[in-house]
Structure 1
Amino acid sequence: METKGAGRSPLWLLAAWAVTRAGLLLFVFRVYVLSGPDVTSDVSVIYHGWYEVLRRGTFPLDDVTWQYPPAAALAILSPAALPFLSYAHAFFVLVCLTDAVVLALLAYAGTRPGRSPRGAWMWVAGVPLLGPTVYARYDLMVTAVAVAALLAGARHPRVMGALAAVGALVKVWPALLLAGAVRRRAWEAAAVTGAGIALLFAVSMPGAFAFLAFQRERGTEVESLGALVFHVARHFGWRGEVRLNYGSVEFLGPWVDVVSTAALALTGAAFGWLLLWRLRATRLTGAALADAALTAVLLFTVTSRVISPQYLVWLVGLAAVCLTHRASRMAGPALLIAGASFLTVLEFPLGFSHVVASDGYGVTLLVLRNGLLVAAALTAARRLWRTTVPPRPAPAPARGGQPSRVVM
């Protein structure tokens, strides 16, 4: 991921970023149009509609597609900072600027002792692999907060905790950044910041936590790992249907609730493994903090009922932070994430009609993409455990240096 000349020169990095991001902007500004669904409609229609409601001082209480924590309102309202542009165009420009900030953070981090420019290159290469969808959702903004939190990491635990709390109140998953935090100051800052912001929204805007009820009614989204059960079952007479439900295309029908419950159980198992790891881990360095965050988010992504295309930018960002540490063991999972990102743009938007139809091409793309994510999660978990958990001591030999024998 790091070439001999490119790794030394920031000009190559900046040039690669400029070229790839110009391409993304040409697509979201619809100078060029990809086949498949219009990925920009979420911004121009859904986000813009929420914007009109939020600017009146209330959350979209009657819109079940609003399934986000209260601080997500900040991302939706952000285009107001560029009033001379249309809502959608302002949003795309702000996402691009945020993208540039992330690159600057990673590039600077890569120049410090014990660090590497690989992280910045992972960001430059990984984001465009997701296609224009990455600029047409607010997930890149959340990822920027997460990247800043992890880079603050061991040196500034209070900053990390506060930023993780802000990110969690924008889209929940950044709370997992604290999985490897060892300093109490990080947890205290997260708790105080999170409680303060949540209280502020609760008393100032009606419906701040209505999203919790809307999330509870979600089904199994067609791109998730569990959805593969129904993609295959449709070829053997399964009587369910694919329908737009709560803002995403989901499977509805017999056994869907069972698969959704199984996904929640797997998420619970992932949480249990993380808890066990946290109790056993003793070698928690700065690199381990980032490695743990990536592992946690990978585990919760692959076990989720929903794996939307934009979720991959979370993983690209966290993998990039890991790769800024020369001591990180996440190079393998990072490559798997890059491969999954490329397959993601093939299935959405390019091949989404095939995914919805559950035909051979669509199912193959999902099997490959989700398979890479599962492989990345398992590889990351194994490497995290082996590098942070000391091996159990071997049992002491019996007296006299000879192993004891059991007499039957």
Structure 2
Amino acid sequence: MTRRRPALAALAALAERRLVLWAAFALLHLWLGLVNLTSPSLPLGDVSWVYRGWIERAVYSDYWVGIHAEWVYPILALLPMLAAAVAGFEYYSSTWLTLVLALNAGAFALLTGVGRTGRNQGAAWWWLAFLALLGPIAIGRLDAVTVPLALVAVLWLRRRPAVAGVLLAVAAWMKVWPAALVLAAVVALRDRARVLVAAGVTSLLVLLIAQLYGSGLHVFSFLTTQADRGMQIEAPVATPWLWHALATGGTRIYYDTRILTFQVDGPGVGLAASLVTPALALAVLAVLWLGWRAFRAGAAGEELFPVLALALVVSLVAVNKVGSPQFVAWLAVPVLAGTLARARPFRVPAALTLMLAGLTQIVYPHLYGALLALHPLMLVALTMRNLLYFVLLAWAVRELWRLGARGAQEGSVLAGPSRNSEPALTLEP
């Protein structure tokens, strides 16, 4: 035991060195990029075929999704897809991976504290472990662009709330989920006005520019397109039908060529799919009420914000008829926010989220064919993953209730003056 302690101390000291952190960051992204480009399971297929196809059609035929036609994504999703074509369509996939690498590097630099002592190495190592467990999908979808933008916004919430609001709005106009972070900030933080105004003005500018380019109502088509889609096989709500398909064959899996996802069809699926969206709205409203209750009870903003953000983000994933594997990437932002706040240990959600990431990589991409074939072990892995979403949601809801029941006696660094010596959720150089 006595011999282990110096060895563990040496390992801890090594892990705290910034050079080691950055070496791990570079090696991890090199590995993730290599798997994306070479794996026979084609984890980068959406980027290489779907995103590239949209942009090729826009460039060569002047036909823009979201402007000339309905689109599944908000309009600013075109920006990273266009950026990936800057070196030519021949290098579209590798340019996409380079873009994500650059964005993650910027967020990682802020997370580790440029020009500071490395007091957040634990959070940085957690993020690297999370990316490794989630696998190639962590950088192979549009969500990989929004996550670092949202993380930077959260790190700047205290000192640069207006900039944070702009970043969150831009990210939300690429993929909707960062809007949950805006809602959490509006409820939990006393400086909510600057965040909300910045996000609102940014959204108005996006809508104005889209209308100038002739988008019309197509700019809102991502809302109706999502509402009309069927039930994706990976979604938690679809899990009983997958087991029904295995047991009786009464449910079938089919490929939706419009949405480009595998979905389920069977008895009661249509009714369940129609109920999920209002159920999601009710879940979000309930979580917001719990957050507002905690705020009114005096809960500290640095403790309330990450818990509320986590509850909202998990709700968007758990109570949803879409269950894309990249959705797990969203969870990194509120977990990192809670880890950095240090108001209360965030070990439980951090551990659960790592488990969610690992189970997701089992399901996708390498063994996805086995899931489509309804292999029992794959159904077990997917079921465990989907149940963990609700375990994580239950933890966050319980914490919100606890905060509302007792309040918080100390002032919040994010909400105003505090007795803490260091600012929370900000690692500016």
Relative to the length of structure 2, the TM-score reads 0.83
Give how far 1:67 is off. Answer: 0.5
User: How far, CA to CA, are the matches of 2:48 and 2:394 in structure 1?
Assistant: 38
Distance 2:63 2:369 in 1: 38
Matched, 1:81 2:86: yes
Q: Which residue of 2 aligns with 1:172?
A: 176
CA contact (8 A) 1:134 1:313 kept: yes
Change (3 A) 1:271 1:165: same
Corresponding residue for 1:327? 343
Q: For 2:178, what is the secondary structure of its paired residue?
A: helix
Q: How does 1:154-173 map to 2 (within 5 A)?
A: 154-173=158-177
Cα deviation, residue 147, structure 1: 0.5
Residue number in structure 1 paired with 2:222 = 211
Contact 1:99–1:144 (CA under 8 A) maintained in structure 2: yes
CA distance in 2, matches of 1:362, 1:52: 36
CA distance in structure 1 between the aligned counterparts of 2:324 and 2:153, rounded to whole angstroms: 23
2:274 match? 261
Q: CA contact under 8 A between 1:354 and 1:362: conserved in structure 2?
A: yes
Q: 1:228 aligns with which of 233, 239, 249?
A: 239
CA distance in 1, matches of 2:333, 2:47: 22
- Structure 2 distance, partners of 1:279, 1:387, is 10
Match of 2:383 in 1: 367
**2:263 aligns to what SS in structure 1?**
strand
> 1:55-105: per-residue Cα shift (whole Å, max 9, x none)?
4362267877x4100011112111133349611111111112222122112
- What is residue 414 of structure 2 aligned with on the other side? none
Contact 1:288 1:388 (C-alpha < 8 Å) held by counterparts: no
Please give the alpha-carbon distance, in whole angstroms, between the structure 1 residues aligned to 2:156 and 2:294: 21
The answer as to whether partners of 1:95 and 1:138 remain within 8 angstroms in 2 is no
Q: Deviations over 1:316-339 (max 9, x none)?
A: 233223212222443211111111
Q: CA offset at residue 231 of structure 1? A: 1.0
| Distance across 1 between alignment mates of 2:146 and 2:301 | 25
Partners in 1 of 2:78 and 2:221 — Cα distance?
A: 13
Structure 1 segments (4+ residues) deviating >6 Å: 61-64
1:380 correspondence with 2:396: yes
Unaligned runs of 5+ in 2: 1-8, 409-429
Match of 1:132 among 136, 142, 145: 136
CA distances 1:291-350 after superposition (whole Å, capped 9, x unpaired) = 321221012211111121111111123322321222244321111111111111111112
> Do residues 239 (structure 1) and 250 (structure 2) align?
yes
Among 349, 364, 370, the alignment partner of 1:348 is: 364
Deviation at 1:151, TM superposition (A): 0.8
> Which residue does 2:326 correspond to in 1?
310
**Does the Cα contact within 8 Å between 2:291 and 2:308 map onto a contact in 1?**
no
- Counterpart in the other structure of 2:103: 98
Q: How far is 1:6 from its partner?
A: 4.5
Please give the alpha-carbon distance, in whole angstroms, between the structure 2 residues aligned to 1:239 and 1:19. Answer: 46
Distance in 2 separating the partners of 1:391 and 1:209 = 39
Unaligned runs of 5+ in 1: 393-408
Task: Give the 3 Å change call, closer, same or farther, for CA 237–383 of structure 1 in structure 2.
Answer: same
Cross-structure match for 1:189: 198
Q: Which residue is equivalent to 2:416?
A: none
Deviation at 1:391, TM superposition (A): 6.1
* Counterpart code for 1:86: Y
- Give the aligned residue type for 1:198: L
Query: Is this contact kept in 2: 1:106–1:324, CA < 8 A?
Result: no
Q: Does the 8 Å contact 1:150/1:290 carry over to 2?
A: no
Structure 2 counterpart SS, 1:251: strand
Aligned equivalents of 1:110 and 1:371: distance in 2? 41
* Length-normalised TM-score, structure 1: 0.87
Q: Is the 8 A contact 2:104 2:148 kept in 1?
A: yes
Structure 1 counterpart SS, 2:174: helix
RMSD (Å) for aligned C-alpha atoms: 2.6
How much has 1:368 moved relative to structure 2? Answer: 1.2
What residue number does 1:397 align with?
none
Identity of aligned residues (%): 28
Alpha carbons 2:169, 2:179 under 8 Å: kept: yes
The one-letter code sitting in structure 2 at the alignment partner of 1:253 is: G
C-alpha contact 1:165 1:193 (8 A) present in aligned 2: yes
User: The residue matched to 1:209 in structure 2 has which SS?
Assistant: helix
Instruction: Report the secondary structure of 1:327's partner residue.
Output: coil
Instruction: Quote the Cα distance in structure 1 between the aligned partners of 2:184 and 2:140.
Output: 31
Once the two structures are superposed, residues 15-43 of structure 1 have per-residue CA deviations (whole angstroms, 9 ceiling, x without a partner) of 2212222211211231xx25xx3112211
Cα shift at 1:7: 5.0
- 2:13 is matched with 5
1:286 Cα shift? 2.8
Distance change (3 Å), C-alpha of 1:26 and 1:279: closer
Provide the C-alpha distance between the structure 1 equivalents of 2:284 and 2:390, rounded to a whole number of angstroms.
Answer: 16
SS of the counterpart of 1:4? Answer: helix
Aligned residues: 385
Quote the Cα distance in structure 2 between the aligned partners of 1:344 and 1:262. 25
Report the residue type matching 2:212 in the other structure: V
Superposition deviation, residue 203 in structure 1:
2.2
CA distance in 2 between partners of 1:95 and 1:242 (Å): 32
Conserved 8 A contact 2:169-2:203 = yes
Q: Which amino acid aligns with 2:223?
A: L
Once residues 385 and 157 of structure 1 are traced to their aligned partners in structure 2, the CA distance between those partners, rounded to angstroms, is 27
Whether the 8 Å CA contact 2:66–2:219 is kept in 1: the answer is no
2:207 is aligned, of 198, 206, 219, to 198
Task: Indicate conservation of the 8 Å contact 2:241/2:266, yes or no.
Answer: no
Decide whether aligned partners of structure 1 residues 166 and 60 sit closer, same or farther in structure 2, where only a CA change above 3 A counts.
closer
1:147 is aligned to: 151
How far 1:11 moved relative to its partner?
2.0
Q: Is the 8 A contact 1:127 1:316 kept in 2?
A: no
